[in-house]
Amino acid sequence: MRITVAGWGNVGRTLGNAWRRAGHEVSIATREPESDRAAGWRADDWVVGRLVDLAVDADAVVLAMPGSAMVESVTGAGEALAGRLVIDTTNHLGQDGTLHRLGELTAVLPQARIVRAFTTMAWENFENPTLDGRRLDQYYVADPGEDAAIAGLIRDIGLTPVHLGGLADVEALDAITKVWFHLVWRLGYPRRTALTIAGTPPG
């Protein structure tokens, strides 16, 4: 799959490297494609460019920038992202307690195939997807038709995909993230803490 990662921070870089190792063609979208940083990525054999230029050739686009900047980052890119699988990994740590901005995102990208994943635990678990000898669960929401593609990409990271429903079920997904924030930020659990479901899923 051709995957463009927008935001080469801890999340984007970790996912991008893992997908490249798994055989995907990964490119880096940055706001500053002429920077020294971008030159360094090119020297390491990465394709680097602006999101609107790279997305037209991508099958999937990963949004891995600060949640506060995410909607603005893709505003105007609706045409380039039309028909692409858009993976929203961002958490918006604003005042209103809502972690996602799916309403605004679907409004600016009306033709994109938006899913939400990689939001419920720390990037360290994307690098080391097993803990205490078990493969960790990666929860996600995706509407019918997009499930197989995102589940495959989650497996390629080494995590077990757990489908929590469509985009309308996003609050169930973000509730898991809120429990993680509580455990780690408030109670002091280690960052690699991850939530698992015991029992057999339906079907």
Question: Which residues lie near ligand NAP (CB under 6 A)?
Answer: 7-12, 30-32, 64-67, 69, 73, 89-91, 118-119, 122-123
Question: Is residue 184 within 8 Å of residue 190, measured between CB atoms?
Answer: yes
Complex with ligand NAP: residue 125 or 201, whichever CB lies closer: 125
Nearest one of 27, 52, 19, 28 to 149, comparing CA atoms? 19
| Phi-psi domain of 91 (left: phi exceeds 0; alpha: psi -120 through 50; beta: other) | beta
Complex with ligand NAP: residue 27 or 90, whichever CB lies closer: 90
Task: Compute CA distances 5 → 12, 28, 182, whole Å.
Answer: 6, 5, 28
- We find the least distance from the C-beta atom of residue 62 to ligand NAP, in angstroms, to be 10
Question: Is residue 145 within 8 Å of residue 138, measured between CB atoms?
Answer: no
Backbone torsions φ then ψ of 30, nearest 5 degrees: -135, 160
**What is the residue type of 158?**
G
- We find the least distance from the C-beta atom of residue 66 to ligand NAP, in angstroms, to be 4
Complex with ligand NAP: residue 8 or 199, whichever CB lies closer: 8
- We find the least distance from the C-beta atom of residue 160 to ligand NAP, in angstroms, to be 17
Complex with ligand NAP: residue 152 or 185, whichever CB lies closer: 185
Complex with ligand NAP: residue 52 or 145, whichever CB lies closer: 52
- We find the least distance from the C-beta atom of residue 191 to ligand NAP, in angstroms, to be 7
3-state helix, strand and coil shares in percent for the chain, rounded to the nearest 5: 40, 20, 40
> Where are the alpha helices (H) located in 44-82, listed in sequence order?
51-55, 67-74, 78-81
- We find the least distance from the C-beta atom of residue 88 to ligand NAP, in angstroms, to be 9
- We find the least distance from the C-beta atom of residue 166 to ligand NAP, in angstroms, to be 20
SS3 call for 168: helix
Q: Tell me the residue number closest to ligand NAP, measured at CB.
A: 9
Complex with ligand NAP: residue 95 or 145, whichever CB lies closer: 95
